[in-house]
Amino acid sequence: MRQGMPARAQVVVVGGGIVGCSTAYHLAKRGWTDVVVLERKRLTSGTTWHAAGLITQARPTFGTREIVKRSLEIFGSLARETGFSTGFERTGTLHLADSDERWEELRRQASAARSNGIRAELLSPEGAAELFPPLHVGDLAGAVSYPDDGRGNATDTTMALARGAQQLGVQIFENTKATGVTRRDGRATGVNTPEGEVEAEYVVNATGMWGREFGTIAGAKIPLQALAHYYVITDAIPGLPPGLPTIKSAPDYAYVKNEGAGLMVGFFEPGSYPWSSRGIPDDAEFTQLPEDWDHLGPFYEKMIKRLPILADAGIRLHFCGPESFTPDGLYHLGQVPGLRNYFVAAGFNSVGFLSGPGAGAVLADWIADGRPPLDLPEADPRRVAPHETNRRYLEQRVTESLDLAYEIHWPFQQRARARGLRRSPLHERVEAAGAVFGELLGWERANWYAPPGVRRTYQYSFGRQNWFEHSAAEHRAVREAVGLFDTSSFGKLLVQGRDAESVLQRTCANNVAVEPGRIVYTQWLNEFGGIEADVTVTRIDERQFLVLSGPATISRDRDWLERHIGPGDFVTVTDISGTLAMVPVMGPRSRRLLQSLTDADLSPEAFPFGTSREIDLGCGFVRATRITYVGELGWELLIPADLAIYVYEAVVSAGTALGLRHAGYHALDSLRMERGYRSWGHDISGSDTPLEAGLSFAVAWDKPGGFIGREALLRQREQGVRRRLMHFTLDDPDTLAYHDEPIYRDGEQVGHLSSAAYGHTLGRTVALGYVTAPAPGTEPSWYAVGGYEIEVAAQRIPAQAALRPFYDPKGTRARC
Ligand SMILES: Cc1cc2nc3c(=O)[nH]c(=O)nc-3n(C[C@H](O)[C@H](O)[C@H](O)COP(=O)(O)OP(=O)(O)OC[C@H]3O[C@@H](n4cnc5c(N)ncnc54)[C@H](O)[C@@H]3O)c2cc1C
């Protein structure tokens, strides 16, 4: 054992970059000083040492912006707290737009940032030139300034965090590689090093671009891949003012900031390429990759047009370093499935310096409090699908993440690379019917159907896209006749065994101790009453239940359930998603259609809403469940994969005369929004309770034995909630909202939209969003009155608000 290396610690943090050091520092600040940091080489020697140092708040999601806000607080106080300088200064950032589309994107981004309380100011091109005089602005449509953004020195900041942690008692060991993770009973119990084991209650994987390799050792799937990433530093530029705002010029794929007496010009350019995808060399330390001017030159030339002073500036440094990127461009922060007390914070997509201090602080709070201090479902390592750590997949998909980083981020934008991996048994059939596919975690899913003669591509815009009318027709068919969806990508868990009922009763807020053939809509709560999962549970027989979850939540739902199986429980949880096709047949004519194919009695009396049973269909058998996500009469058919095409053909052939249409996920979203059905990860997640989310109807308060989260929920019920999920429609039928738009009540910001879609029956945008009241226990009537506005692209649009959905508020249509 290395001298001084303890045999045990409360937490072992693996990785001495900014993220690992921040985690250790913040654990120590929480009083968790029995912490060991292991660094295979020297602190900062991974990717941190060469970070450009930008701190920009315009991040893609509410949660990731919250992380940067937390980072900014830390940047503001760290030097004072530790006595070590960080080079932090607030210079602001200017984002530039050179087209109407880019300008709309920037305005939408500014509104989203305001939903976090981040200052964002719209500027004319001339206004931008005033803040950054050398800038060429002749071709600009506008700019947005984030005055509170900043920059700092990554190495200094990390050393300040490390020294600060040590001052509080944390032990840091450099040149000490973690070679393994020990585990017992599904829990991480320590870390192996060449010099022996360090036992631990918690293990944190903060190994940056090594995150995937180090994760594999513990059986954790952490998809990320290092790509080559560039900046250029110029010689001194005479007369260049110091302290200029950072420029982010997405149209030029570049950012610019003062660097000494010159400028740093960094790039997020198309044509990126992976580095060492088969394994990072063991001796990698302060790695610098070879220059590639052939690749970078054209982008630099382009940037000279934006900033003509670059033309005469000599180049002092042409830097290329590896940085890890992920398949969806979002980092991994949280727990991995199947291994308790193992946390990961890696894959930072070149925002690890600006996110690292906040991410480490969040992780420290999470470990210390046993719950995350903020909701980050988008960064949850349990969102990952198994194929995502495949090397070839990563090489293709992750380069696209970087290539797209500075492109316009369109609503409904689809990835092009590494497609076609996971297909429904009906894939060819729905494709033949005109399906235009989108992708979710490898699944190809019919988003909309192109009628004959219509091109099967997306033409993106922030307004109505080319599929708008086709999707509207699908929507109408479901409301007025009958529609068929292929939702085979949905997650299906078979929970079976002697104690299946008791485990599920404990986990579900609703009562699942029902007769076989009943289906129960329920949430799974954490002990604070927050919603960890939103599922339906079908009781198949005494010892068998089927849990339906989303394609992106199946892994975390399974993990949640398995974590709540006690040592004496006799239960198994099996993911049977791929074995069953799922075909919702929805709409007022669905009964007539399906009745023509089955001897089972589908009348309301014989087959009421909320029931499920195996029925004959044509010459086969399927499980038919009367439930809806669209607000209409209908049955979800669960079909053995080998029978799927046969059943599909039977339904389509019987449905043609009844006006059956194929309907895709865009129509599904429009339909569900009108009826106000919540979507986990958007409208509900771990820090929203059923009382806040309007889901108390699904809480069985008094069922025997209670359920996880009941006590917290009871306390909240007693006290009264302070925020409620509300339904909105925008008065202007031409304005489209998507998510994160700020909500104003009587001119005051009271929340932001969690999701939105155009409602084709209501003829306007429909949305959901939480509204926060002045105090807990505020009467529901307060929420419903008042003049509401939603800020879309920096413009306030009058809106209607209600506590019930605008379409079929009593939910009678699905129950007829
Ligand atoms: C050119 C360039 C410019 C950038 N500019 C910015 C910017 O302006 N703003 C920004 O926010 N981000 C920027 N970044 C990204 C930023 O540098 C990274 O996201 C950040 O440093 C990641 O920090 P980390 O702690 O996750 O990883 P790292 O700094 O790589 O730390 C991980 C550490 O883990 C150690 N390790 C790995 N495996 C083991 C093991 N088995 N045992 C012990 N130790 C292990 C490694 O040696 C490494 O030191 C830039 C990146 C590049 C390449």
The mean pLDDT value for 14-23 works out to 98
Q: Exposed/middle/buried for 336, CB within 10 Å: 0-12, 13-18, 19+?
A: buried
Minimal-distance CA residue to ligand 1 atom 2: 51
- The answer to whether residues 771 and 801 touch, using CB atoms and an 8 Å cutoff, is yes
The predicted structure's pLDDT at residue 306: 97
Strands 254-259 and 246-249 turn out to be: antiparallel
Locate all alpha helices (DSSP H) within 210-351, ordered by sequence.
Answer: 211-217, 293-306
In this predicted model, what pLDDT tens digit does every residue of 690-707 receive, in sequence order? 999 999 999 999 999 999
Q: Which atom of ligand 1 is least distant from the CA of 346?
A: 26
**327 pLDDT more than 80:** yes
Pocket test for ligand 1, best of 41, 47, 406 (most atoms within 8 A of CB): 47
Region 642-658: mean pLDDT is: 98
Query: 62-82 and 154-167 helices cross at what angle (nearest 10)?
Result: 70
Which of 198, 323, 333 maximizes ligand 1 atoms within 8 Å of its Cβ, making it the mutation to test the pocket? 323
pLDDT of residue 2: 61
- pLDDT tens string 63-96: 999 999 999 999 999 999 999 999 999 999 999 9
d(CA 546, CA 575): 10
| Rounded percentage of the chain residues whose pLDDT exceeds 90 | 99
Q: pLDDT tier at 117 (50, 70, 90 boundaries)?
A: very high
Q: Is the pLDDT of residue 286 over 90?
A: yes
Average pLDDT in the 360-370 region? Answer: 98
CB 139: neighbour CB atoms within 10 A? 12
Candidates 353, 354, 363, 398: which one to mutate for ligand 1, based on the most atoms within 8 Å of Cβ? Answer: 353
Task: State which of 350, 351, 362, 406 you would mutate to test the pocket of ligand 1, scoring each by most atoms of that ligand within 8 A of its C-beta.
Answer: 350
Q: Indicate whether this model's pTM tops 0.75.
A: yes
SS3 544: strand
Q: Which residues line ligand 1 (CB under 6 A)?
A: 14-20, 38-41, 45-48, 50-54, 177-178, 206-210, 214, 229, 231, 266, 321, 323, 346, 348, 350-354, 356
Mean pLDDT, range 259-268, rounded to an integer: 97
Q: Which residue lies with its CA nearest to atom 15 of ligand 1? A: 350
Atom of ligand 1 nearest to the CA of 176: 43
237 alpha carbon – ligand 1 mean position (Å): 30
Residue 678 has pLDDT above 90, yes or no: yes
Partners of 493 in the β-ladder: 547, 575
Distance in angstroms (rounded) separating the CA atoms of residues 675 and 590:
18
Determine the distance separating the centroid of ligand 1 and the alpha carbon of 310, expressed in angstroms: 29
For the residues 198-211, what does the mean pLDDT come to?
A: 98
DSSP 8-state assignment for residue 554? H
Instruction: For the chain, give the mean pLDDT.
Output: 97
Q: In what order do the strands lie in the sheet with 482-484?
A: 612-617, 620-625, 634-640, 580-586, 482-484, 660-662
**pLDDT of res. 4:** 84
Q: What residue owns the CA closest to ligand 1's atom 21?
A: 48
